[in-house]
Amino acid sequence: MSTPWEKKSSIEEIRTRFDHDVERFSQLETGQQATMDAPLVLELVAQAGARHLQAGDTILDLGCGAGNFTLRVLQESPDLNCHLADLSTPMLERAQQRVRESGRAKSVEIHEGDLRTLDFAEGTFACILAGAVLHHLRDDADWEREFTRFARWLKPGGRLYVADLITFNLPDVQEVMWQRYGTYLEGLKGPDYRETVFAYIDREDTPRSLPYQLELTRRSGFQAYDVLHRNSVFACYLAEK
């Protein structure tokens, strides 16, 4: 995970990989196996969201993939206006199809492109979902700019839910947790799978620590935050405007 940012995959390279992975990401159990506790995290976010989302609210799913995050939220909070955003056109099309066919969304709108190119009016959303997408942000300026924009897009009392790969600030702890993650991956599909996942993380991703991200919410205008779940190198948290 030491590859300099300038040597990371380009947006086009990341888009191409996900263009060819639609079927896998259309099934929660197979599409997100590399993400530890993915079903539990979706359940926790959906149940927390149900405490503040109301029929007719508008939500944004950043890096929506094939729509798993939005679909799970809709199970607990129907009749939402759903905005789906992703780099991949095939992913967006599948997400749009699945959300519409669920019959639980009030409306569905799609936005294709890098999340850094999106723009919405202040106070548009009651909720922003960011599942396994923020690790594609690169330098501090990237992270700071996007969190400030998230806060601006949310209504007062609106919430940002993040579920993602994280790092640890202490190198020895990072080493322990990374080894544990490797053991988890190997237990799923063997050593080759572990090396495949490690290779694309090294090539594509630039995750940050949980303390870094929580502090960033505070500096970006959020009034409160809480951690919903954490296991090894994955965490889920919310921040409220």
Q: From CA 149, how far away is CA 60, in angstroms rounded?
A: 13
3-state secondary structure of 65: coil
**Domains: count for the chain:** 1
pTM comes to: 0.91
Tokens read off for 151? 């806060």
Range of the domain at 56: 5-240
Per-residue pLDDT reduced to its tens digit, 110-132: 999 999 999 999 999 999 999 99
Mean local confidence (pLDDT), 144-165: 98
Confidence check: pLDDT of 20 > 60: no
Q: Return the higher-pLDDT residue of 20 and 110.
A: 110
CATH number at 181 reads 3.40.50.150
Residue-level pLDDT at 32: 73
CA distances to 18, 107, 166, 194, 201 from 5, rounded to whole Å, are: 20, 38, 16, 22, 12
Per-residue pLDDT reduced to its tens digit, 37-56: 999 999 999 999 999 999 99
3-state secondary structure of 10: coil
3-state secondary structure of 216: helix
Q: From CA 21, how far away is CA 27, in angstroms rounded?
A: 11
CA distances to 130, 150, 154, 175, 183 from 115, rounded to whole Å, are: 10, 11, 15, 30, 32
H helices, E strands: number in the chain: 10, 7
DSSP letters of 124-189?
-EEEEEEES-GGG--SHHHHHHHHHHHHHHEEEEEEEEEEEE-B-SSHHHHHHHHHHHHHHHHHHH
